[in-house]
Amino acid sequence: MNKEFYQQIQDLLKQGHLHQAQELAEKAHKEAPDDLFNNKSLALVYLSKLEKTNEIQNISEIITLSEQILSLQLPESDFLHNRHIWLLTLHLFKITTYPDFNYSQLDLLFQLIKKIPYQRPSKAHSFLLSAILTHSHTYPHTYELLEWWNLKNLRPEDYQLPQNKTDNINTSTQKINITLAERTWLAYTRLTINRLSITPPDHPEHTRLNYKATQLLNRLRQINQANPQLQYLPLYRIKLAHTLRKPIDAQPEFIAYARTRPKEFWIYSTLADITDDPEQQKALLAMAIHLAPKPEYSIRARKKIIKLFLNNNFTKLASAQLNKLIEIYNQNKNKNWRLPSEIREYLMATWYDPTIEIPDQEWTIDFIHDAATFIYHDFKPLNVAIGAQIGNKIYEYFAHQTQHGKARIINLTPIKNIEAEYFKALLHIDEQQTHIVLTQQIPLPQQEPPIKNVEGPVQISPDKKFALIKQKYYVPPQLIEKHHLKNGQNLKATVLRAWDNKKEKFGWKCIKIIQ
């Protein structure tokens, strides 16, 4: 047979005549089993059958079709191998829903995939990786599978978020803002940490794992330096360093990372893992509970803080946390959650009081200040402009930051029409609202106060969306409208030094028209 026959089979398949195409291809292959185009034609038929993912929901049938394709021994360079791997990957994403699914079957399918001589690195290889990652928390041989896949095959595109849907091979729904490459390194690091943790130190395998983990640690540093846009890689590198107990001090490096994400609850939960001071641990876990976006996210932190409370004989606080845990588990009964054995043991303890309820906002306030201070302990005194939201009101303060992260409030007067986004400072306010803890430094010129009065002519833009006093001080549209300002009018105004998100530098914003 020749190319014309191969084209004929292609045309039949495009027209939906699968059965007719299969009869012709099988007959031609039987007559000349060594003919390349006969083999390609029959492979094309099997691939078309494999493509019907809505009809084929049986792993045994998928394996049979794949074995038939492999038996045709197409040249390694043939593009049909890439199509083969792509179709198998589509099945992998939903394979746990197939009636005959079990991990033994999945093992057989992966063994078959390893035999397919498709191109790597390639888009198909990366697509397969995305499917592997969806099983990384349940499939027991994911670590070996990632070793086979070989992370050196990650493409430059895998380190970037897709620009459009057609380019998206990262099908994760849980971490849609994380690149495929980062998901891969996180999974591989997590699995490496798990293996190190469960392998006894005197076991021969531990030495090999320790060596590989040390190499991985260095590799993660290089990757992070080359790809600073990766979000969670620094965290996992620090976790790995902590597991290896390397001389690099994980805590200072993690604190530096934590300052870039001051309102993410897991930051404080993880930091509690790498500090040995019980008081610091309590403060950090309390902050994690305070910031948890959903109650169920705080389960791990609550379990850990109960132990710390019991060590201090704080039985009321421990009981309150235990009661909160029971409440969270009861709210998630539909997910078949069961109370862990350690929690059930606490319920039998003599110290436990099922009647105690302490709202989180009441007890965490005593620890939040210490947690933020712990992260920003090395800040130097400097003048700062800061914004805070207390209840439903936005306040702006001119404050002087002292050592240990606290700030002395000079002015507690609300200033209207100021948006907190103009201030790159997030903060926590203690119960009396007398001190604030900064979560970002804002250096200001020492020669000039951050708030002052100015005078000069005003220039208004044609669309009246902004105005400038003395061609320097920004006047927002609401003040233009409120005071009926006119071009060239001489103004006296109060201006505040504020962060300009668009220009990414400090500027001046008018907050009050005096005259």
Task: Please indicate, yes or no, whether residues 284 and 363 belong to a single structural domain of this protein.
Answer: yes
Name, in order, each residue with C-beta under 8 angstroms of 167's C-beta and a sequence gap of 6 or more: 157
Query: What pLDDT does residue 115 have?
Result: 94
What do you get for the CA distance between the two ends of the chain, in Å?
93
Number of domains composing the chain? 5
Cα–chain-centroid distance for residue 327?
27
Backbone angles phi, psi at 463, to 5 degrees: -85, 5
Q: Is residue 475 in some structural domain?
A: yes
pTM of the model: 0.59
Task: Please indicate, yes or no, whether residues 16 and 110 belong to a single structural domain of this protein.
Answer: yes
CATH number assigned to the domain comprising residue 81:
1.25.40
Backbone angles phi, psi at 492, to 5 degrees: -115, 130
Q: Would strands 406-409 and 393-401 be described as parallel, antiparallel, or unpaired?
A: antiparallel
- Which of 119, 153, 175 delimits the end of a domain? 119
Q: Is residue 472 in some structural domain?
A: yes
Backbone angles phi, psi at 396, to 5 degrees: -120, 140
- Which of 346, 367, 388 delimits the end of a domain? 367
Alpha carbon distance 359, 320 (integer Å) = 8
Q: Which helix (H) or strand (E) holds 506?
A: strand 505-513
Strand runs labelled E in 269-392: 382-390
Q: Is residue 342 in some structural domain?
A: yes
Name, in order, each residue with C-beta under 8 angstroms of 276's C-beta and a sequence gap of 6 or more: none
Task: Please indicate, yes or no, whether residues 392 and 292 belong to a single structural domain of this protein.
Answer: no
Torsion of CA 27, 28, 33, 39, to 10 degrees: -110
Query: What pLDDT does residue 315 have?
Result: 93
Alpha carbon distance 190, 236 (integer Å) = 7
Instruction: Specify the DSSP class assigned to residue 200.
Output: -
Task: Please indicate, yes or no, whether residues 168 and 271 belong to a single structural domain of this protein.
Answer: no
Task: Please indicate, yes or no, whether residues 502 and 432 belong to a single structural domain of this protein.
Answer: no
Q: Which helix (H) or strand (E) holds 123?
A: helix 123-134
Determine the angle formed by the axes of helices 123-134 and 180-198, rounding to 10 degrees.
50
Task: Please indicate, yes or no, whether residues 151 and 238 belong to a single structural domain of this protein.
Answer: yes
Alpha carbon distance 205, 202 (integer Å) = 9
> Residue 353 is encoded by which pair of tokens?
């009081």
- Other CB atoms closer than 10 Å to residue 131's CB: what's the count? 19
> Residue 318 is encoded by which pair of tokens?
């421990």
Q: Is residue 294 in some structural domain?
A: yes
Contact criterion met (CB below 8 Å) for 460 and 476: no
Q: Is residue 432 in some structural domain?
A: yes
Spatial CA neighbour of 510 closest among 500, 496, 489: 496
Residues in the chain: 515
Query: What pLDDT does residue 416 have?
Result: 29
Task: Please indicate, yes or no, whether residues 314 and 352 belong to a single structural domain of this protein.
Answer: yes
- Which of 207, 223, 248 delimits the end of a domain? 248
Residue type, 347: L
Q: What is the pLDDT along the chain (515 residues), one digit of tens a residue?
A: 578 888 999 999 999 999 999 999 999 999 899 899 999 999 999 999 998 867 777 888 899 999 999 999 999 888 899 999 999 999 999 888 888 888 888 899 999 999 999 999 999 999 999 999 999 988 999 999 999 999 999 999 999 887 655 455 554 434 447 899 999 999 999 999 999 989 998 888 889 999 999 999 999 989 988 887 777 887 888 888 878 876 555 566 677 777 777 778 888 888 888 777 888 899 899 989 988 888 888 998 999 999 999 998 999 999 999 999 999 998 888 777 888 888 889 999 999 999 999 988 778 866 766 776 677 655 433 333 344 443 434 333 333 333 333 333 333 333 322 333 323 333 333 333 333 444 344 343 344 555 678 999 999 988 878 899 988 898 988 888 888 888 999 998 888 766 665 666 667 888 778 87
- On the CB side of 365, CA atoms within 13 Å amount to 11
Q: Is residue 460 in some structural domain?
A: yes
> Residue 282 is encoded by which pair of tokens?
């309590």
Q: Is residue 218 in some structural domain?
A: yes
Residue type, 190: R
Task: Please indicate, yes or no, whether residues 112 and 5 belong to a single structural domain of this protein.
Answer: yes
> Residue 403 is encoded by which pair of tokens?
């050592």
Contact criterion met (CB below 8 Å) for 384 and 401: yes
Spatial CA neighbour of 507 closest among 458, 473, 478, 467: 473
Query: What pLDDT does residue 287 have?
Result: 87
Q: Is residue 428 in some structural domain?
A: yes
Task: Please indicate, yes or no, whether residues 234 and 166 belong to a single structural domain of this protein.
Answer: yes
| Enclosing domain of residue 400 | 376-438
Name, in order, each residue with C-beta under 8 angstroms of 97's C-beta and a sequence gap of 6 or more: 57
Task: Please indicate, yes or no, whether residues 431 and 350 belong to a single structural domain of this protein.
Answer: no
Task: Please indicate, yes or no, whether residues 394 and 427 belong to a single structural domain of this protein.
Answer: yes
Q: Would strands 490-500 and 473-475 be described as parallel, antiparallel, or unpaired?
A: unpaired
Task: Please indicate, yes or no, whether residues 96 and 158 belong to a single structural domain of this protein.
Answer: no
Query: What pLDDT does residue 177 have?
Result: 73
- Other CB atoms closer than 10 Å to residue 455's CB: what's the count? 12
